[in-house]
């Protein structure tokens, strides 16, 4: 029988830490709110990757970006709205734009 990815992670942890680590990767031990936050974070990370790739000129990520925008809209929260408004625009800046105000 094949081991699950979760079990493989647990098996890589030293024996003395397994009891502490195992609940952290056991999705069954998460509350519904925690599951929702993890799903939001996962979609947000993928979205940010798309923005970075598009900023670098890799247009293969355009469709993924569009799909992820729909996913993020479906998983909206006050916290995610704040992150999208305050932090996400910087992920669309070029290297020149980022370093423009840098003292270097």
* Segment 77-93, tens digit of pLDDT: 999 999 999 999 988 87
Does 104 have pLDDT greater than 70? Answer: no
The tally of domains found in the chain comes to 2
- Same domain? For 12 and 59 the reply is no
Same domain? 51 vs 5: no
- Confidence at residue 93, expressed as pLDDT on a 0 to 100 scale: 78
Q: Are residues 44 and 84 in the same domain?
A: yes
Q: How far apart are CA 26 and CA 14, in angstroms?
A: 17
| Structural domain for 18, as ranges | 1-30
- What pLDDT is attached to residue 68? 97
Judgement on whether residues 15 and 42 belong to the same structural domain of the protein:
no
**Sign of the dihedral through C-alpha 68, 69, 75, 78:** positive
Same domain, 90 and 45: yes
Instruction: Please report which confidence band the pLDDT of residue 17 belongs to, taking 50, 70 and 90 as the band edges.
Output: very high
């Amino acid at each position: 029988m094949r081991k699950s990815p979760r079990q493989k992670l647990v098996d890589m942890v030293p024996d003395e830490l397994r009891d502490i680590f195992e609940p952290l990767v056991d999705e069954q031990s998460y509350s519904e709110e925690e599951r929702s936050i993890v799903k939001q974070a996962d979609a947000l990370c993928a979205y940010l990757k798309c923005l970075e790739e598009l900023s670098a000129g890799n247009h293969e990520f355009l469709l993924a970006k569009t799909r992820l925008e729909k996913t993020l809209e479906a998983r909206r929260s006050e916290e995610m709205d704040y992150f999208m408004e305050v932090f996400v625009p910087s992920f669309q800046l070029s290297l020149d734009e980022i370093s423009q105000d840098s003292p270097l």
